[in-house]
């Protein structure tokens, strides 16, 4: 895998690439996945993403969104929440980082890469620590987080939604500088 990079969603003006991304999820989840951006709401989506980055229309939560590209194809998406502590549910059950990988590209290392790239972006913004969470049953995300230096803080009941007490959410802390140094060192050894 080469030429893998993050691209801010607010700068992505090619709806064709986004529609290809949507189709990948629709194929994998035909009865349950609804695209969050389409030709019909594209301009509104870009405006909303700009507003969210400034904490407007998102209850003050500042969130920056990215596409993960491999060459010219979107293979995932992610976001950085700059101030998750503004909302107790976001702080407890979501943290600073969100990511998802297109189903056909899962289990190929892209999850670990997008998490790493989002941590790089956080470092550029001057952040030193990231809180990241996942379901206790999501072995893929557990591996992704731990591959990026995640240290388990706690496991809490629920996921922040009503009637979710049967679920368990794992909360991790990542020292960003340490994570980036260790990730780079590991990848140099593999080359």
pLDDT attached to residue 86: 94
| Cα dihedral value 40, 43, 44, 47, nearest 10 | 160
Token pair for 178: 């340490």
Tokens representing 1 are: 């895998």
Rounded Cα distance, 116 and 99, in Å: 11
How many CA atoms lie within 13 Å of 141's alpha carbon, on the beta-carbon side? 18
Tens-place pLDDT, residues 108-142:
999 999 999 999 999 999 999 999 999 999 999 99
Residue 157: count other Cβ atoms within 10 Å of its Cβ.
Answer: 11
Q: What is the mean pLDDT of residues 160-175?
A: 95
**66-112 pLDDT tens trace:** 999 999 999 999 999 999 999 999 999 999 999 999 999 999 999 99
- Checking if the pLDDT of 1 tops 50, the result is no
CA 179 to chain centre: 16
Q: What is the pTM of this model?
A: 0.94
User: For residue 155, what pLDDT is reported?
Assistant: 97
Confidence of residue 187 (pLDDT cuts 50, 70, 90): confident
């Amino acid at each position: 895998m080469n030429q893998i990079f993050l691209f801010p969603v607010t700068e992505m003006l090619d709806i064709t690439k986004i529609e290809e991304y949507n189709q990948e999820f629709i194929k994998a989840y035909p009865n349950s996945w609804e695209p969050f951006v389409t030709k019909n709401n594209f301009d509104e989506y870009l405006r909303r993403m700009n507003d969210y980055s400034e904490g407007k229309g998102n209850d003050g939560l500042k969130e920056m969104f990215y596409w993960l590209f491999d060459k010219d194809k979107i293979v995932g998406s992610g976001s950085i929440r700059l101030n998750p502590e503004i909302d107790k549910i976001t702080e407890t059950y979501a943290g600073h980082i969100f990511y998802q990988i297109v189903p056909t590209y899962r289990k190929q290392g892209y999850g670990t890469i997008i998490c790493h790239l989002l941590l790089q972006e956080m470092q550029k913004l001057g952040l030193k620590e990231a809180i990241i969470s996942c379901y206790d049953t999501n072995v893929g995300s557990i591996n992704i987080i731990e591959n990026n230096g995640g240290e388990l803080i706690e496991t809490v009941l629920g996921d922040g939604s009503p009637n979710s007490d049967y679920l368990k959410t794992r909360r991790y802390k990542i020292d960003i500088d340490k994570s980036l140094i260790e990730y780079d060192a590991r990848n140099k050894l593999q080359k």
